Structure formats: C-alpha cells, structure tokens
Amino acid sequence: MPLALTRTRRLLPRLAALAFLAGIGYLVIAPLVGLQRLAFEDGARGYEAAFDRPEVAQTLRTTVGLALGSLAIALVLGTLLAWAATRLPPRLRLLRALPILPIVVPAVAAVTGWAFLFSPAPAT
C-alpha cells in the first residue's frame, strides 16, 4: 500500500473528529458566549440582584448537599458492586450486567413505545 494512502487513512478520522468538535463548538459554545456577553452588558446587575436574594443561598446549599450525598452513595455502591462483580464465580459471570440494567431498561421501553406509536397496524 502506498505511503500517501496510509497517511490519508490515518488523517481522515482525525479530520472528521476535528470537524465534529468544531460543529459542536459552534452550536454549543457560541450561544453560551453570546448569553454571557448579554448578561454582563449592564455591569452584571442581574447577577447581583439574583445572588442578593436569600433564597438563592439556601438553594445553593441544598444543591451542594444533594450533590455530595449522591456522590457518597454512588461511590460506596459503585465500589461494592465492582468488588462483588470481580468475585463472582465463573458460572455467575452473567450477573455482571445487572448494574447496567437500570440504565438500559428505560431506553428499551422508550423504543418499544415509539415502535407501537408509529406501527401502521391498529392496536388490538
């Protein structure tokens, strides 16, 4: 295989990834920069007014508390599940997929629902 063709095959996925990231940057980051520019147009008085309210401090404390609690629970449960999965006997290795089921089942249910919704046959 010629060297130029090999180099092109290696370069093409990188260029595609770069184009994808540039598109995402344009669609996500550019609007966020525009919003922040608008937010600071009046000297950030909107931020001052929002953060001067006492409810905001309570909301932030609640949010941080929930995030730290979720982090602790996920860390403990994830560690225990990983430890238990590595100690399964060979005949029960199929149970390694059990922790992934709560992530997969809602997507399967949604696809099934859409399939029934767009089915050309009437429901019986």
Predicted local distance difference test score (pLDDT) of residue 124: 58
Distance CA 97, CA 85 (A): 9
Query: Which two three-digit tokens encode residue 23?
Result: 């598109």
| Three state DSSP letters for 65-87 | HHHHHHHHHHHHHHHHHHHHHHC
- Would you kindly state where each structural domain of the chain is located, as residue ranges? 3-89
| Rg value, the chain, Cα | 25
Question: Which pLDDT does position 9 carry in this prediction?
Answer: 77
- Per-residue pLDDT for the chain (124 aa), expressed as one digit of tens each? 566 667 777 888 889 999 999 999 999 999 999 988 888 888 888 788 888 888 988 999 999 999 999 999 999 998 998 888 888 888 887 887 887 888 888 888 999 988 888 888 776 5
pLDDT at 1: 56
pLDDT of residue 44: 80
pLDDT for residue 10: 80
Cα three-residue angle 99-103-106, rounded to 5 degrees: 135
Secondary element (H or E) of residue 114: helix 101-117
